Amino acid sequence: MSALIIGLTGGIASGKTAATQAFERRGIVVADADVAAREAVAPGSAGLAAVVDAFGADALAEDSSLDRAAMRRRIFEDPQARVRLEAIIHPRVRAALRAACEAAPGPYAVAAIPLLTEGGRAAYPWLHRVLVIDVPRDLQLTRLLARDGIDALLAERMVAAQASREARLAVANDVIVNDGTLDALDTAVGVLDGKYRGMAASGL
């Protein structure tokens, strides 16, 4: 059972995935909110049944899985639909992340939550600390353009749709500024790994 749970977050193209992989290489369990969200509405799940109850059978694709493209269009056109969908999925995601982290072997566990800031820190009272993977905005845009092959206007819109850099830093207990190489990021994770192991051992 992990004695310490770290919430890891950051903006798009900040390096969250590389950071979580660095923790995993050190034997730390990482529970991923994106994975939990997919599992929450997997075929046959109570979550998917709740979506069908709320939105009707046209929320399903031909194979009886969630029609993600149709739901994306629906919630884009109707903000209330987004609220209803999030009310179904988000509590299930939070419960799954908490259960996975609390059951994880090792001194501590990491919950990777891309939209932690947007959802509010208060929604995760079981997190002991928040680690923000931070990146300067210009570098974030450069990485996003290179990664997704999109134009600059779309990249700007994607960044603007998320919480601001300042808002993320305001909820942080720990920060890694990921403006260098992957080796530098790995070194920074190693430093925090030592810190978290020490905290867990001392009961903090």
Q: How confident is the model at residue 154 (pLDDT cuts 50, 70, 90)?
A: confident
Taking CA atoms, 86 is separated from 68, 89, 98, in Å, by: 14, 5, 18
Q: How far apart are the first and last CA of the chain?
A: 15
- The reported pLDDT for the residue numbered 20 is 98
Q: What is the mean pLDDT of the chain?
A: 93
Please choose, from the candidates 97, 134, 140, the residue with its C-alpha nearest in 3D space to the C-alpha of residue 7: 97
CA distance 102 to 96: 10
Task: Please report, as a single letter, which amino acid is at residue 35.
Answer: V
Predicted confidence (pLDDT) at residue 99 exceeds the cutoff of 90: yes
CA distance 117 to 130: 10
Task: Please report, as a single letter, which amino acid is at residue 118.
Answer: E
One DSSP character per residue, the chain reads --SEEEEEEE-TTSSHHHHHHHHHHTT-EEEEHHHHHHHHT-TT-HHHHHHHHHH-GGGB-TTSSB-HHHHHHHHHH-HHHHHHHHHHHHHHHHHHHHHHHHH-SSSEEEEE-TTHHHH-GGG-TT-SEEEEEE--HHHHHHHHHHHH---HHHHHHHHHTSPPHHHHHHT-SEEEE--S-HHHHHHHHHHHHHHHHHHHHHT-
Number of Cα atoms under 13 Å in the Cβ half of residue 189? 25
Predicted confidence (pLDDT) at residue 46 exceeds the cutoff of 80: yes
Please choose, from the candidates 94, 74, 92, the residue with its C-alpha nearest in 3D space to the C-alpha of residue 83: 74
pLDDT digits (tens, 9 = 90+) for 194-203: 999 999 999 8
- The reported pLDDT for the residue numbered 141 is 92
- The reported pLDDT for the residue numbered 74 is 87
CA distance 64 to 61: 5
Q: Furthest-apart CA pair in the chain: how many Å?
A: 53
pLDDT digits (tens, 9 = 90+) for 120-149: 899 999 999 999 999 999 999 999 998 888
Angle in degrees, 0-180, between the axes of helices 68-77 and 46-55, rounded to the nearest 10: 50
